[in-house]
Amino acid sequence: MTEQTPRPPGGRQHPQPEGAESIGERFTRALSTAVPGELTEPELLPSRLARACVATLDVDAAGLGVHSDPGLRIPIGSSDPAATHAERLQFSLGVGPSAEARSAGTVLTFDADDLARNWPSLFASLSTDTPFQEIMSVPLQGPLAGVVVLDLYVREAGGLARVDAHAVDVVARVMTQELVRAALFSEALTGGPGWMEGEDVRRRSQVWQAMGMITMVTDLDSADALAALRGRAFALGRLVDDLSADIVTGVLDPGSLLV
């Protein structure tokens, strides 16, 4: 399969009427708006940021993830369950807009044709299991460059054409400031970013545990163990996160992945 160079995001910066609320102010106001009680904990800051992103930009959902080694990603927050599932699909297949944007270091947009052309299996899963037609992936810059990527999702074909690139840039910068500020505060108290302690992070950590268990009973290294997990998950039509949970809890023998 030949990768197609994605198109840069559309949109223009428009003059702001006198007295109008700036994009940054709109985002900050959305972030400070009352949230459900279950989202008030410090580790859920990324989910609050994702919700504020949806409230500010012309998108339907958003999610944030931390990237490390090639193929490894930790979801730290999303606006809703559909965005959470879309991230898990990307991770399970080991491909997708988020990893592509992180590698390129720039904002990339993918409409339905782009997704189908570049990653047919991912596009099929997204079409079946989520309402999303298009994805914009935005690598955060500054201290989080090469680490955190924001994924923006829209349901309607052609919807990303309405998303203003300037607004996305402003929101990404404010989001970076919020994450860095929270990380500095929590690191002073606990030694690590509080937003790396959420439920999605703990769930993804079961994948790393499963990889370790596989390497202990086979001759595979960590990279091959992850590839084995992805291969079996794909064959069964399951998510890598769910398959890993079965291994960690003893439902599935880690050695059975090579059978």
pLDDT of the residue at 40:
66
Range 230-247 average pLDDT: 96
Strands (E), the chain: 61-67, 73-78, 108-110, 134-139, 148-154
β-bridge pairing 61-67 and 134-139: unpaired
pLDDT of the residue at 17:
39
In the predicted structure, residue 74 carries a pLDDT above the cut 50 = yes
Determine the residue type at 63: G
Range 199-225 average pLDDT: 94
CA torsion, ordered 179, 183, 185, 189, to nearest 10 deg: 150
The rounded mean pLDDT for the chain is 88
Cα–Cα distance list, 137 to 48, 113, 122, 156 (Å): 18, 16, 15, 17
In the predicted structure, residue 51 carries a pLDDT above the cut 90 = yes
> Model-level pTM?
0.87
Residue 228 confidence class, pLDDT cut points 50, 70, 90: very high
Of 92 and 7, the structure prediction assigns the larger pLDDT to 92
Query: Using CA of residue 117, residue 123, residue 127, residue 131, what is the dihedral sign?
Result: negative
For the chain, what percent of residues have pLDDT higher than 70? 86
Residue 187 confidence class, pLDDT cut points 50, 70, 90: low
In the predicted structure, residue 189 carries a pLDDT above the cut 50 = no
Q: Where are the alpha helices (DSSP H) in 111-157?
A: 112-118, 120-129
Of 42 and 12, the structure prediction assigns the larger pLDDT to 42
